[in-house]
């Protein structure tokens, strides 16, 4: 043991800061971070007209957020370089090895600089950072080489700027590399210390690529840039092009379709443009939307009165009672299977088709949201999610939707009520939610997203004996959150804003825990509650209609008698002239619910038709037996898909684009 300590002491004397391998590695990566920031400034300068009214504070926020995305891109591109630098072997210091490291660094990082500089001039044509979808746009172009050289001629100044960047990078990296630090003579310290350092650096690299160590977070994506954007276009300044390309490498690309010769033809069958239906003046009532984590319809007694031979009572006694005094619907569906699918569906009436909107290449598109529309009417808007700020990208998406404020774990500011994984316990955060709303000036619109009904399905200490659940581990959490909602409504009902409020309660998606066999089906996987409660409602029966998450936004606006046209892919369920329907995506097939039937379409042909109301287990495929029904539903589904996909690709999800003639749309 004494000899080991002596070896460490000797190694400390041998250590020198200058030329040290790890110092050299950090300096190399910081060099690229600096050049990426230069590229960001150049991107802004070259595209100055697209970012009017820029202030120093606004750009400072952009630059601060950009560091996070630059770090991810630099680490991605330099993974091999980092690994070759930190393997704990002595050959790292050999001249040939160091020369290879230098060339590898220059090659990979030149690619990153090329992408950034090319996008600096290409941005004006697309108004978004380039993703891999660009490759698809040019894959059928026969004169790519000619276009490329013409591009170089037309934008010679960009080429000159790129050459300058590469020259600076080359000069500086040759000053930083090679690493010539003195080698530690004791093998035990050299290999042992090198191995420990390698493990630590790998951990730091993984955190950097993910975007941080934050609890319950997923790797950052393009949509997270909205967290640092004052206006939507600023997202493109926060991002860098290598990040956009790398993050979309495995993301399915939504591409245009031409089921109909022109988009106008599809629009005659399905149009996402909503126009005011009556002359009643706008009514500024408060709106409260509550999204419950993993609350399947299976957990409700009121939806399953015949289950277990009539003995099933469910795990939501309070919500069952609330549904009895609400506009509720027998067949209510989610538009996706993940939490990140629910946000755009509920708030923007944009379903998740093929890929979640916030993870898609088009997450930077301009969107119409309930928050932005009500902001224009003088509403205060706020989003509440008890998770650590930044979790799931909710804060970034809320910002891009136009919410005035975001309240998360940071704003709650009491970690004693933190569950240690997902966020603040529901009963505590719901109480905080009610108290906060009582301070808001009316009218207001708020959105609450619960966290506690999530794996590993724990409960606060004081409720562990009270809620026992049943066969499924999630049942006790459902009981607990149902109780938390009872307490929330009891408290809110005594507040002055309560009676002037429309409450919408839904779930983000159905749970993966399924006991009742009918929910283990293509319709059951998306079955969630959706109901509208207004204080003072009398008891009312459940309506036997179809409703989906994307119907929430237009229905709320209809309740308020919103008086301007807007874009939404859902329908106003109060408008009896519209046909109840729902759309989602499962197993590479588009699903359309209409009337009694569920149609499954693979993008080219219909592959299934089921009477989902009677044939709940979906045993009998009626595809060949009801050709007229198939034909009608397929035409309507194709019109929906063409409107959705083509508008998505064209960044035409707002009325500004839709009011233009088709030939002049983006």
Query: Which tokens belong to 659?
Result: 């009011």
pLDDT band at 4 (very low <50, low <70, confident <90, very high): very low
Can you tell me the mean pLDDT for 234-253? 85
Separation of CA 215 from chain center? 17
| Other Cβ atoms closer than 10 A to 637 | 23
Distance in angstroms (rounded) separating the CA atoms of residues 210 and 229: 20
pLDDT tens digits, 451-487: 999 888 999 999 999 999 989 999 999 999 999 999 9
Judge contact between 157 and 118, C-beta under 8 A. no
- Please state, in angstroms and rounded to a whole number, the distance separating the CA atoms of residues 138 and 584: 30
pLDDT band at 664 (very low <50, low <70, confident <90, very high): very low
pTM: predicted TM-score of the whole model, two decimal places: 0.78
Q: Domain locations in the chain?
A: 19-247, 284-575
Report CA dihedral (67, 68, 70, 74) to the nearest 10 degrees.
Answer: 130
For 18-66, write each residue's pLDDT tens digit: 557 788 899 999 999 999 999 999 999 988 888 888 999 999 999 999 9
Identify the CATH number of the domain defined by range 284-575. Answer: 3.40.720.10
Q: How far is CA 68 from CA 37, 212, 238, in A?
A: 11, 8, 9
Q: In the β-sheet with 405-407, what is the strand arrangement from edge to edge?
A: 405-407, 380-385, 444-449, 286-292, 501-507, 530-533, 326-333, 543-548
- Sorted by sequence, the CB contacts under 8 Å of residue 633 that are 6+ apart come out as 592, 594, 597, 599, 606, 609
When pLDDT is cut at 50, 70 and 90, the band that residue 586 belongs to is: confident
Torsion sign across C-alpha atoms 507, 545, 515, 335: negative
Answer whether residue 275 shows pLDDT above 50.
yes
632-648 tens-digit pLDDT = 999 999 999 999 999 99
Q: In this structure, what DSSP letter does residue 495 have?
A: S
**Residue 562: both structure tokens together:** 């919103």
How many percent of the chain have pLDDT more than 90?
A: 64
């Amino acid at each position: 043991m004494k000899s080991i300590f002596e070896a460490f002491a000797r190694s400390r004397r041998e250590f020198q800061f200058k030329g040290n391998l790890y110092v050299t590695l950090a300096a190399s990566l910081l060099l690229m971070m600096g050049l990426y920031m230069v590229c960001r400034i150049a991107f802004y300068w070259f595209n100055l007209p697209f970012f009017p009214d820029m202030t120093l504070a606004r750009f400072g926020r952009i630059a601060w957020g950009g560091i996070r995305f630059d770090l991810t891109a630099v680490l991605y591109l330099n993974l091999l370089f980092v690994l070759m630098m930190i393997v704990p072997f002595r050959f790292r210091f050999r001249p040939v090895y160091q020369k290879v490291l230098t060339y590898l660094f220059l090659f990979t990082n030149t690619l990153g600089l090329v992408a950034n500089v090319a996008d600096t001039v290409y941005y004006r044509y697309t108004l978004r950072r380039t993703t891999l979808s660009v490759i698809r746009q040019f894959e059928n172009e026969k004169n790519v080489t000619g276009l490329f050289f013409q591009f170089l001629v037309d934008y010679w100044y960009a080429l000159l700027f790129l050459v300058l960047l590469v020259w600076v990078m080359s000069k500086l990296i040759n000053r930083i590399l090679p690493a010539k630090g003195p080698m530690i003579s004791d093998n035990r310290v050299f290999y042992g210390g090198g191995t420990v350092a390698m493990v630590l650096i790998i951990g730091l690299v993984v955190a950097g690529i993910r975007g941080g160590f934050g609890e319950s977070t997923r790797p950052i994506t393009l949509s997270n840039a909205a967290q640092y954007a004052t206006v939507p276009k600023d997202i493109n300044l926060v991002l860098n092009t290598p990040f956009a390309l790398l993050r979309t490498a495995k993301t399915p690309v939504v591409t245009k379709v031409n089921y109909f010769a022109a988009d106008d033809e599809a629009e005659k069958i399905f149009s996402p443009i909503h126009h005011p239906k009556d002359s009643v003046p706008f009514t500024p009532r408060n709106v409260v939307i509550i999204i419950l984590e993993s609350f399947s319809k299976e957990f409700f007694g009121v939806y399953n009165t015949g289950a277990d031979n009539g003995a099933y009572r469910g795990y939501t006694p309070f919500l069952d009672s609330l549904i009895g005094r609400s506009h509720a619907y027998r067949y209510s569906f989610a538009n996706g299977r993940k939490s990140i699918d629910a946000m755009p569906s509920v708030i923007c009436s944009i379903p998740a088709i093929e890929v979640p909107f916030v993870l898609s290449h088009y997450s930077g598109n301009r969107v119409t949201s309930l928050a932005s529309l009500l902001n224009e009417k003088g509403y205060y808007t706020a989003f509440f999610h008890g998770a650590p700020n930044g979790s799931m990208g909710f804060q970034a998406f809320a910002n891009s939707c136009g919410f005035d404020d975001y309240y998360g774990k940071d704003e709650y500011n009491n970690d004693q009520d933190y569950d240690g994984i997902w966020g603040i316990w529901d009963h505590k955060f719901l109480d905080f939610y009610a108290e906060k709303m009582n301070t808001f000036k009316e009218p207001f619109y708020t959105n609450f997203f619960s966290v506690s009904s999530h794996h590993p399905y724990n409960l606060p200490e004081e409720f562990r004996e009270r809620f026992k659940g049943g066969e499924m581990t999630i049942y006790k959490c459902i009981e607990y959150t149902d109780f938390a909602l009872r307490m929330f409504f009891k408290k809110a009902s005594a507040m002055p804003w309560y009676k002037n409020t429309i409450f919408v309660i839904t779930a983000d998606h159905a749970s993966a825990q399924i006991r009742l066999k009918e929910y283990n089906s293509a319709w059951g996987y998306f079955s969630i509650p959706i109901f509208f409660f207004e204080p003072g409602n009398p008891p009312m029966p459940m309506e036997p209609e179809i409703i989906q998450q994307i119907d929430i936004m237009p229905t709320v606006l209809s309740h308020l008698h919103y008086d301007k046209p807007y874009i939404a892919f859902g329908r106003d369920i109060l408008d009896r002239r519209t046909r109840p329907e729902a759309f989602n995506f499962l197993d590479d097939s588009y699903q359309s619910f209409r009337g009694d039937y569920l149609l499954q379409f693979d993008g080219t042909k219909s592959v299934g038709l089921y009477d989902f109301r009677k044939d709940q287990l979906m045993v009998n495929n009626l595809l060949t037996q009801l050709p007229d029904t198939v034909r009608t539903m397929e035409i309507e589904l194709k019109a929906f898909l063409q409107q959705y996909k083509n508008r998505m690709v064209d960044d035409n999800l707002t009325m500004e684009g839709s009011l233009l003639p088709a030939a002049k749309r983006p």
